[in-house]
Amino acid sequence: MLDIARQRCSVITTGNTAPILSTGFHVFDALSGAGPPVEACGAEGVLSTLVLEHLPLAIFFESVKKLLKKEGG
């Protein structure tokens, strides 16, 4: 799934001369107990490809909180 997202973003940004935001793609299993990848923290937005019914909402939102910029962007 991440490979497809990377490919599609690459197609959109290749040859584009307009300023664009950088994108990063990271795998993070919120149920594993490990923290998110350091390079993924400080994000201005988070896209989750999980089906939320498989993840307790409290864990989901706590994980998103760890990933987003502290000052709210």
Of 25, 30, 33, give the one whose Cα is nearest residue 55.
30
Is residue 8 in a domain? no
Is residue 5 in a domain? no
pLDDT tens by residue, 15-69 = 767 666 677 778 888 888 888 888 888 888 887 776 778 888 899 899 889 989 8
pLDDT at 73 over 60: no
pLDDT at 19: 66
Stretch 9-14: mean pLDDT: 72
pLDDT at 72: 59
Is residue 33 in a domain? yes
The number of domains in the chain is: 1
Contact 65, 37 (CB under 8 A): no
Contact 67, 35 (CB under 8 A): no
SS3 for 12? helix
